[in-house]
Amino acid sequence: MGLLEWLPSGVYGLALATALAFGAFCAFGRRKRHPGEPPLINGWIPFLGEALNYRKNATEFLLTLSKKHGDIFTVHMAGKYITFIINPLQYPIVTKSSKYLEFSEFADQISSQAFDHPPTINEKYPDLNEHIHRNYQHLVGKSLDTLSDNMMRNLQIVFKTKFSQLVDWEMVKMHKFCFSIIFEASFKTFFGRDPYNEDYNVTDEIGEKFLKFDASFSYLALNIPITLLGPTKKIRKELINFFNPKKMEKWLDVSKVIQNRIDMLENYNLLSDYDKAAHHFAFLWASMGNTIPATFWAIYYLLRHPEAFAVVRDEIDHLLQSTGQERKPGCSIYLSREQLDNLVYLESAINETLRLCSSSMNIRKIKENFILQFEENRGVSLRKGDLFAIFPPILHMDPEIYEEPQTYKFDRYVENGKKKTTFLKQGKKLKYFLMPFGSGSSMCPGRFFAMNEIKLFVVLALVYFDMNIMEDKQLGQGKDRIGLGILLPDSDIIFRYKLRS
Ligand code: HEM
């Protein structure tokens, strides 16, 4: 891959100019390692440092550095110094050192630059960040049950509109298919419906725009100016205005988590309607941006592995039979949280998908100089202002933990018919063995709902349809989302479906 091949065309000039300007500066001002600090890898390219090597193949790059420098080292990338901790047995240290490692401000900065809301950690908006986080309690417990039940109902409505037109095999692009179903059902579950427009399809209205914004998300998260990203600025504005509070007032069946968010934001007089709308848009993206590709990959792998498909379908059929439910297309299905939880092969297949496709870096900013004690009698000095990171794909691809880690094994997380939760490294049980949803203070608050909705999608697709992939090509993973979440497929793929015979 060429030097800046990964940036969209308009960004080349700026990045190159920045690199050259910093080059002059860095030639004289390269950082030096202080005594007690982890090994420092500066890279030879001014400003960018090792960013391009990381980008080429992050896991391989970090493992190669680890062979040379050990379990902890600092890498210079795009003007930042990031200390990586490689050995998964040491991951819990991050949670234990939370006094020195902060996430909120860092996440707030990325969220405000991507979604165009003012930073929430600001004395103009007292406690706003805390209130936003407190609101996520509506994604667990009883509220989670209600959300999952509503999602189940909405998914069935959307699936039924798909197959009401089906007579024979229908050929479609698989990502487009998954997107249109999850987007529609999930939007209705969270944001409700417009009572003045009952036949309204939100995917037709904003789906395309969402996908275009989604394609630019990684650049915004990297703080590339939006003016360099073609139509993204206009599209983002239109998406945000879709959530204008005056318009949202009229929506019915709004979920508790969103209604509470609306009411809470109303208490901040200094937030404009646009600012409030931007917060709702941020939630929309958080709730879909990872779930859609994760659902896509879950179905893709099942269709590529007929033995997995058969076992998972069998497990679902058995559950429906044992609960007296029909498994014909069109019949209504109800599964409680407990029943969903008991689908161990389905859960394992989804976990295996997340292991292979997730790439969320768990990142923290170092609040003050401190010594990180990461083994008995072994500590390293870390510098205020640097970043500290765990890169979970290292764990997910470790052959000592996961035999043949590149291979999809749908039942990896099942042992003797039960969920398998014991995975070993150096003979010791790992506290963290699967980390698609982050860890500690940055753990995804929507993770339980996400798992439920992916399960529900797979259940309905397998109960209602027979499906085959129609192209031989093996899909690869796009690089845009490295470090940021579930990787997108590098292209779409054609599959066909018909009502289950
Ligand atoms: C497979 C699906 C999903 C994955 C892999 C995922 C992963 C993540 C990760 C890794 C983070 C932390 C981000 C960071 O470290 O910067 C996060 C944050 C977040 N996620 Fe998810 N997520 C998923 C689905 C969802 C869903 C369905 C919702 C909503 C119902 C949701 C809501 C959020 C929110 C609101 C945050 C921000 C939390 C904060 O500000 O602290 N996510 N997600």
Domain ranges across the chain: 87-499
Secondary structure of residue 252 in the 3-state scheme: strand
- pTM comes to 0.93
Minimal CA–CA distance to 301: which of 59, 486, 469, 471?
469
Tell me the angle at which helices 291-304 and 306-322 cross, rounded to the nearest 10 degrees: 110
* Structure token pair of residue 400: 């000592």
Ligand 1 centre and the CA of 433: distance in Å?
18
Atom of ligand 1 nearest to the CA of 111: 40
Query: What residues does 82 pair with on adjacent strands?
Result: 75, 387
* Structure token pair of residue 162: 């798909």
Instruction: Answer whether 450 contacts ligand 1 (Cβ < 6 A).
Output: yes
The whole-number pLDDT of residue 190 equals 98
H helices of 344-416, in order, are 344-357, 393-396
Instruction: Answer whether 147 contacts ligand 1 (Cβ < 6 A).
Output: no
Angle at 344 between CA 339 and CA 347, to 5 degrees: 95
The whole-number pLDDT of residue 300 equals 98
Could you tell me if 397 and 59 are in contact, meaning their C-beta atoms sit under 8 angstroms apart? Answer: yes
Ligand 1 centre and the CA of 261: distance in Å?
16
Q: How many residues are there in the chain?
A: 501
H helices of 390-495, in order, are 393-396, 447-464
Place of tokens 């401190």: 370
Sign of the CA dihedral 84, 89, 91, 97? negative
Cα separation of 74 and 85, whole Å? 9
The whole-number pLDDT of residue 197 equals 79
In 426-489, DSSP assigns E strands to 428-429, 465-469, 484-486
What's phi and psi for 82, nearest 5 deg? -115, 125
* Terminal-to-terminal C-alpha distance of the chain: 47
Instruction: Answer whether 440 contacts ligand 1 (Cβ < 6 A).
Output: no
Ligand 1 centre and the CA of 291: distance in Å?
9
- Is 26 among the annotated ligand-binding positions? no
Number of H helices, E strands in the chain: 20, 17
DSSP state of 206: I
Ligand 1 centre and the CA of 371: distance in Å?
30
DSSP state of 77: E
CATH number attached to the domain at 87-499: 1.10.630.10
The whole-number pLDDT of residue 410 equals 98
Cα separation of 109 and 153, whole Å? 36
Could you tell me if 19 and 53 are in contact, meaning their C-beta atoms sit under 8 angstroms apart? Answer: no
CB burial string 340-355: b at 16+ within 10 A, e below: beebbbbbbbbbbbbb
Minimal CA–CA distance to 72: which of 99, 106, 40?
40
The whole-number pLDDT of residue 16 equals 45
Cα separation of 305 and 410, whole Å? 9
The whole-number pLDDT of residue 29 equals 62
Atom of ligand 1 nearest to the CA of 361: 15
Could you tell me if 359 and 335 are in contact, meaning their C-beta atoms sit under 8 angstroms apart? Answer: no
Instruction: Answer whether 451 contacts ligand 1 (Cβ < 6 A).
Output: no
pLDDT tens string for the chain (501 positions)?
233 334 444 344 445 445 444 444 444 467 899 999 999 999 888 888 898 899 889 999 999 999 999 999 999 998 899 999 999 999 998 888 889 999 999 899 999 999 999 999 999 999 999 999 999 999 999 999 999 999 999 999 999 988 887 889 999 999 999 999 999 999 999 999 988 877 778 999 999 999 999 999 999 998 889 999 999 999 999 999 999 999 999 999 999 999 999 999 999 999 999 999 999 999 999 999 999 999 999 999 999 999 999 999 999 999 999 999 988 877 899 999 999 999 999 999 999 999 999 999 999 999 999 999 877 788 999 999 999 999 999 999 999 999 999 999 999 999 999 999 999 999 999 999 999 999 988 899 999 999 999 999 999 999 999 999 999 999 999 999 999 999 999 999 999 999 998
Ligand 1 centre and the CA of 331: distance in Å?
32
